[in-house]
Structure 1
Amino acid sequence: MDAPPHVLILPFPAQGHVKPMLTLAELLCHAGLHVTFINTDHNHHNLRRSSSAPRPHRLRFASIPGVHRPNITDLFFSVMDNFKPKFRDLVVSMGGPPPTCIIADGIMAVGAVEVGEERGIPVICFRTQSACSTWTYLHLTKLIEDGEIPFSGETMDLPITSIPGLENLFRRRDLPSICRIGDLQNPIFQFFVTQTSAMTRASALILHTFQNLEAAIIAKLGAIFPTIYPIGPLHALLKAQITDHPSPSDSGSLIPQDRSCLTWLDSQPSRSVVYVSFGSLAKLTRGQFLEFLYGLVNSGKPFLWVVRSDLVLEEDRVDETPEELMVATRERGCLVDWAPQEEVLAHWAVGGFLTHSGWNSTVESILAGVPMICWPQIADQQVNSRCASELWRIGVDMKDTCDRSTVEKMVRDLMEDKREEIMKSTAEISRMARDSVEKGGSSHSALEKLIEDIKSMKFGGHVSVSDK
């Protein structure tokens, strides 16, 4: 009797990548596949510590030592220097028949594809971003050839014309943050160029999006990848297929969640609260923190703000906050270290989301039908914020500005002055997202096709790896 398919899943070791890939792992296990989920030692420990969700019995964990670093720049260098040999050693040490396939993060493609080619294991890349962002990264070399990057910071509103299908959408400031690096030989810039190029050698591409949101760009990606599986929103697919899943909101969180904010939300009027979160990586100066706080307070709206212990840059941290801000925050604000974001966005009291425009946050906000104020910082966030405001019309873009009057105006626009206009498109796109995960919907069908395609591959063997 053939062994069931065995899939290795390899995320980039950061919160925004681990969460969607772990959700996919649970969906594959639910379909009868065996999955080994590969973390760094550091993230494996954090996942066990922060998440109360039970795991499927077909899901096992393995970890790679010595790759974690305390900040995102050093993490990129660590992946460049240390990952591939450690991953190869892990695959070899499993013994027995090779896994059926590897599902690798799109920015872990170099090592995954090379090890897959060496060992005869098909590789599917999972780009945990939008189709628009993926398409943009695939045109980095063309942007260089056409002289559109690098550029100075003084002419950020000049249009970008070298990305087919997006010629009339992007300005310089809307390109991924790495395009602001003046030196194109910078190792971080080259990391993304190299990883994106290697991704095209994969057998197929998984995208955390849905067909109706990005159909035109998904079609263009089809000229590069023989098969594409748009399977978002993943957390909605999980809920649709595993109706008794006990606690999906923390299933991929590397940070313990403070659920007390849900009780606070229960006491607020319907659609009155601005939820504020800049994700797991963004940093603020002390000045930026105060501008946001002043803007939120001056808007007069109740707000729930995720203020991580490391949100404010260490060198800027001071204990003194103006007394009037402290009083106003106590009156109509709630600050927590980390929140169960899916549940917060779905709460009837939340009417708007001030976000860093990370893709998971964007997809979760779309599904919940909550419009956004976008303040992007790194990676694909600049692309996402532009698409949210100008392509999908589900929010407003505040990139590259941070002063209290702008924050106040944006909050009032979202919650009052422009709300009817924004909510019309937000509600429609939210409906399309929900429809996509129902039986017969585009994402549901794409997931079924992915599962059947994996099952039709030459079966490898399942190797039990300790949960540690």
Structure 2
Amino acid sequence: MAESIKPHAIMVEFLFQGHINPFANLAIGLASKGCTVTYVQTEFIHNQMSQASQNPGFLFSTARGSGLDIRHKTISDGFPLDFDRDLNFDEFFSSIVRDFPTRVDELVGRIVRTERGRDTSTFLVADAYYTWPPEVAVKYNLVYVSFWPSPAERLSVGHHLALLEEKGTPITYDNYKDHIEEITEVVKSKNIGDVIKYSSPRDAPFCPEILMETIMKAHLQVRKAHFILCNTVEELEPHTLSTLNQKQYLPTYAIGPTSLLSSTLAPVSSLIPEVDCLEWLSSKPPRSVLFIAFGSIAPVEKNVIREIAHGLATSGANFVWVLRPDMVINEENDDVLPPGFEEEIVGRGLIVPWCDQRKVLASPAVGGFLTHCGWSSILESMWFGVPMLCYPILADQPNNRNMVVCDWKIGMNLCDEQEISRREVEEKIKGLMRSGNEVRMEMKKVKELVHNALGQDGSSHANMNRFLSDLKKKMCMMEK
């Protein structure tokens, strides 16, 4: 392919908040490297963003204003805007698996036909949790790039377990000890049982079975990608990345953290209206505030909320707590906090339904982060150097927690016991917020490592350039 031909990425966004930020920022990263980008999202998600934003303009208006070539298209997910996708999740996601691929196929076909004859070469970029991209890429003779939004270890573990399932040896929480030799080479965690339990469609708590089955299939489909862009840092997972490339034959490039590629051009991508916490935070001493957030979809049991609340009350720590309206199943937020709690924490506690997590973590007042261990949250915590208290809930979160606590030592378990207790919550909060502790010192090292990776001489920057070079070679081969 001649150097004058411009790569054109058709990027199809996934449906969950935690996937959107890193994917949208990847679009900016590719456009910054000279690619044309057509960014595709569902009409529903675009509508939610417009309603949530105080400036509901074009998603990439700032990036376009700086000269980047990013186009934007919306596509129906098959349901009207007022359809409750959360309440009817199985019906909604079944349609996404069954019917949505046809809509994407038609859109990709139109774009490819429009681009034909121009000085461009089109490739497909899609979130790895979609299972349809390989077929669409083959149909239109496109290079397929899979974006893996989680750590490389989760990709390696999930792919290995999916292969065993395909071969007729499904690993479950009940039988994993009988197959321990088959999985220990890939699953390095000290808590293998947790990893298996939260990876199996049969065992995973809180996670709809149809979603877990799709994720398991996605772990197999990803091997059909020409390239995998992984939202991680090479220095954090060198052994796993080497295993993926050499033993599992998955061509993986560590280019993360993508959600922090650009602070000035980043799109507005929140699906929930945000409360500004910065004025309140500015009134607090440095590193005195604990930030508490469990992501956009993870459910939390009522007794867990109450034990955390009691522990907060007796810890004496200042805090910002994101308490989503839908976070506790079948409960209104007015009913989940202990009686008298809000009166007890006046002046040192702020409870909000949603906020800009990056702005909060960037505040000098924040000294700790109680998190569900979603991967985007972990990367943001690393970037801003905020040590973590870990309370994983579903999906890849236990695996992520194990790396945070055991491998990198930049966080602590909130709950070491079988059941969470207010006494342990109080003790762990006090331990985390104490200045000069080992976790805080290790986080300083990891913060520097992650910042260096995105620098001009860093590994993520180099891996992005290497990917683009390999991409052009591959497209050139496929066009002959």
Aligned AA (2:124): I
**Residue by residue, what CA displacement relative to the aligned partner does 1:382-419 show, whole Å, maximum 9, x if unpaired?**
110111111111101236643322221221221129x5
Aligned AA (2:72): F
Query: Which residue number in structure 2 is paired with residue 104 of structure 1?
Result: 126
Query: Which residue number in structure 1 is paired with residue 238 of structure 2?
Result: 215
Q: Is the 8 A contact 1:354 1:375 kept in 2?
A: yes
Q: Is the 8 A contact 1:231 1:443 kept in 2?
A: yes
- Higher relative contact order, structure no. (Cα contacts within 8 Å, ≥ 6 residues apart): 1
**Residue by residue, what CA displacement relative to the aligned partner does 1:299-352 show, whole Å, maximum 9, x if unpaired?**
110000111222222346554854531212223101122111112112111111
Alignment of 1:267-306 (within 5 A): 267-306=283-322
Where 2:317 maps in the other structure, the secondary structure is coil
Partners of 1:113 and 1:401 lie apart in 2 by 43
Query: Which residue number in structure 2 is paired with residue 242 of structure 1?
Result: none
- Seen in structure 2, the aligned counterparts of structure 1 residues 67 and 132 have a Cα distance that, compared at 3 Å, is farther
Aligned AA (2:391): W
Query: Which residue number in structure 1 is paired with residue 38 of structure 2?
Result: 36
Matched, 1:327 2:350: no
**Residue by residue, what CA displacement relative to the aligned partner does 1:364-394 show, whole Å, maximum 9, x if unpaired?**
0011111111111121111101111111111
Higher mean C-alpha deviation, range 225-234 or range 63-72: 63-72
- Seen in structure 2, the aligned counterparts of structure 1 residues 73 and 375 have a Cα distance that, compared at 3 Å, is farther
Partners of 1:453 and 1:18 lie apart in 2 by 25
Q: Is the 8 A contact 2:161 2:170 kept in 1?
A: no
Where 2:6 maps in the other structure, the secondary structure is coil
Aligned AA (2:187): L
- Seen in structure 2, the aligned counterparts of structure 1 residues 76 and 225 have a Cα distance that, compared at 3 Å, is farther
Q: Which ranges of structure 1 fall in alignment gaps of 5 or more residues?
A: 240-244, 460-468
Partners of 1:160 and 1:280 lie apart in 2 by 36
Q: Is the 8 A contact 2:25 2:260 kept in 1?
A: no
Query: Which residue number in structure 2 is paired with residue 465 of structure 1?
Result: none
Partners of 2:372 and 2:250 lie apart in 1 by 32
Alignment of 1:5-404 (within 5 A): 5-51=7-53, 52=55, 54-57=61-64, 58-67=69-78, 69-70=85-86, 75-94=92-111, 95-97=113-115, 100-108=122-130, 110-141=131-162, 149-152=171-174, 162-167=183-188, 169-175=190-196, 177-179=198-200, 181-182=202-203, 187-223=210-246, 224-225=248-249, 227-239=251-263, 245=264, 248=266, 251-259=268-276, 261-315=277-331, 318-319=334-335, 321-398=337-414, 401-404=419-422
Partners of 2:260 and 2:331 lie apart in 1 by 40
- Structure 2 residue aligned with 1:407, among 420, 425, 434? 425
Q: How high is the TM-score relative to the length of structure 2?
A: 0.85
- Seen in structure 2, the aligned counterparts of structure 1 residues 21 and 295 have a Cα distance that, compared at 3 Å, is same
Q: Is the 8 A contact 2:158 2:199 kept in 1?
A: no
Query: Which residue number in structure 1 is paired with residue 457 of structure 2?
Result: 440
Partners of 2:45 and 2:370 lie apart in 1 by 27
Partners of 1:401 and 1:304 lie apart in 2 by 24
Partners of 1:435 and 1:320 lie apart in 2 by 42
Aligned AA (1:97): E
Q: Is the 8 A contact 1:100 1:454 kept in 2?
A: no
Q: Which ranges of structure 2 fall in alignment gaps of 5 or more residues?
A: 80-84
Query: Which residue number in structure 2 is paired with residue 464 of structure 1?
Result: none
**Residue by residue, what CA displacement relative to the aligned partner does 1:199-233 show, whole Å, maximum 9, x if unpaired?**
10100110111111001100001023463221112
Aligned AA (1:59): I
Q: Is the 8 A contact 1:148 1:160 kept in 2?
A: no
Q: Is the 8 A contact 1:150 1:182 kept in 2?
A: yes
Q: Is the 8 A contact 1:136 1:163 kept in 2?
A: no
Q: Is the 8 A contact 1:142 1:162 kept in 2?
A: no
User: How many Å apart are 1:439 and its aligned residue?
Assistant: 0.7
Partners of 1:378 and 1:320 lie apart in 2 by 21
Partners of 1:78 and 1:406 lie apart in 2 by 43
Aligned AA (1:403): S
Q: Is the 8 A contact 1:83 1:111 kept in 2?
A: no
- Number of residue pairs matched by the alignment: 446
Query: Which residue number in structure 2 is paired with residue 462 of structure 1?
Result: none
Higher mean C-alpha deviation, range 58-67 or range 13-22: 58-67
**Residue by residue, what CA displacement relative to the aligned partner does 1:95-118 show, whole Å, maximum 9, x if unpaired?**
32366111111111x211111011
CA RMSD of aligned residues (A): 2.9
Where 1:104 maps in the other structure, the secondary structure is strand
Q: Is the 8 A contact 1:229 1:446 kept in 2?
A: yes
User: How many Å apart are 1:126 and its aligned residue?
Assistant: 0.7
Q: How high is the TM-score relative to the length of structure 1?
A: 0.87
Partners of 2:102 and 2:340 lie apart in 1 by 55
